Amino acid sequence: ICTMVNDPRDFVPYLPILLPDLKSTLLDPIPDVRSISAKSLGSLTRGLGEATFPDLRSWLVDTLRSEGGSSVERSGAAQGLVELLVAGGAQLTENVMINEILPLKSHPKPGTREGVLWVLTFLPSVLGQAYSSLIDESL
């Protein structure tokens, strides 16, 4: 998205309109819609920086952990979170995974553990070889 304009900051005034729709499509029942929405969030994060979206990561993690949400919603949140983390770089990805996401794999609530599994489903394909540093912690 940000590559279509000369200056990615041109999108900033439109984020209050764009972000709620991206969040909504991230939780859509159709997998391809969730995938494209997640990639769009990653593209926006890459172009504008995570600081432009101060509450996005916490919203994604909360949705991932939500017991009231469906498996589809946790899947979409996981896809969005993975794209956001990868857009932030290897250091951010490793830090968030080790300190925030992977400790949840032993959470008492099954929905939260399922959210971790969704993250582990999407992360290797997005990270590629860089995922190798997280294999031991993931197991």
Cα 62 → chain centroid: 11
Q: Over 80: is that where the pLDDT of 1 sits?
A: no
- pTM for the model stands at 0.90
DSSP 27: T
| 92-129 tens-digit pLDDT | 999 999 999 999 999 999 999 999 999 999 999 988 88
Q: Which residues of 115-137 are buried (b: 16+ CB within 10 A; e: fewer)?
A: bbebbbebbbebbeeebeebeee
Q: Are 9 and 49 in contact (CB under 8 A)?
A: no
The total of other beta-carbon atoms located within 10 Å of residue 78's CB is: 28
Structure tokens at 117: 């599994």
Say which residue the tokens 């009231």 belong to: 68
Distance CA 132, CA 69 (A): 31
% of the chain exceeding 90 in pLDDT: 64
